[in-house]
Amino acid sequence: MSVWSERIVKYLFASFALISIATTVGIVGTLIFETFEFFKEIPLIRFLTDTQWTPLFSDQFGIFVLISATFMTSLIALMVALPIGLLAAICLSEYASPNVRRWLKPALEVLAGIPTVVYGYFALLFVTPLLQGFVPGLKIFNSLSAGMVMGFAIMPLVASLSEDAIYAVPQSLRQGSYALGTTKRETVTGVVLPAALSGIVASCVLAISRAVGETMIVTVAAGASPVLTLDPRVSVQTMTSFIVQATFGDNPVGTIGYKTLFVVGMTLFLITFCLNVFSFWFVRRFQEKYE
Q: Is the dihedral of CA 42, 47, 51, 55 positive or negative?
A: positive
What pLDDT is recorded for position 289? 61
Q: Are 10 and 238 in contact (CB under 8 A)?
A: no
Q: Is 144 in the same domain as 108?
A: yes
d(CA 92, CA 196): 14
Q: Does 271 map to a domain? A: yes
pLDDT beyond 80 at 56: no
Q: How many domains does the chain have?
A: 2
Q: Is 33 in the same domain as 121?
A: no
Which one, of 262, 270, 268, 278, lies nearest residue 69 by Cα?
268
Q: Is 19 in the same domain as 88?
A: no
Radius of gyration in angstroms for the set of CA atoms belonging to the chain, rounded to a whole number? 23
CATH (domain of 69):
1.10.3720.10
Amino acid identity for residue 276 in this structure: N
What pLDDT is recorded for position 109? 77
pLDDT digits (tens, 9 = 90+) for 82-129: 999 999 888 888 888 888 888 887 888 788 788 889 999 999 999 999
d(CA 169, CA 171): 7
Q: Is 272 in the same domain as 233?
A: yes
- C-beta atoms surrounding 73 within 10 Å: 31
What pLDDT is recorded for position 173? 84
- C-beta atoms surrounding 218 within 10 Å: 32
pLDDT digits (tens, 9 = 90+) for 3-32: 777 888 888 888 888 898 899 888 888 888
- C-beta atoms surrounding 128 within 10 Å: 22
Q: What mean pLDDT comes out for the span 195-219?
A: 87
What pLDDT is recorded for position 177? 85
What DSSP designation does 169 have?
Answer: S
Sequence-ordered list of residues with C-beta below 8 angstroms from that of 109, at least 6 positions apart, any chain: 156, 160
Q: Is 8 in the same domain as 134?
A: no
Q: Is 146 in the same domain as 264?
A: yes
What pLDDT is recorded for position 290? 56
What pLDDT is recorded for position 147? 93
Q: Is 160 in the same domain as 224?
A: yes
pLDDT beyond 80 at 283: no
Residue 142 sits in which domain range? Answer: 49-286
Length of the chain: 291
Q: Is the dihedral of CA 12, 16, 22, 23 positive or negative?
A: positive
Q: What mean pLDDT comes out for the span 238-262?
A: 80
pLDDT beyond 70 at 249: no
Q: How far is CA 30 from CA 48, 66, 229, 260, in A?
A: 22, 21, 31, 13
Q: What mean pLDDT comes out for the span 252-280?
A: 85
d(CA 243, CA 269): 13
What pLDDT is recorded for position 1? 57
What pLDDT is recorded for position 61? 84
pLDDT beyond 60 at 42: yes
Q: How far is CA 64 from CA 47, 136, 263, 267, in A?
A: 8, 27, 13, 10
d(CA 44, CA 53): 14
pLDDT digits (tens, 9 = 90+) for 147-202: 999 999 999 889 888 888 888 888 888 888 888 888 888 888 888 888 888 888 88
**In sequence order, what are the beta bridge partners of 61?**
53
Q: Is 20 in the same domain as 135?
A: no
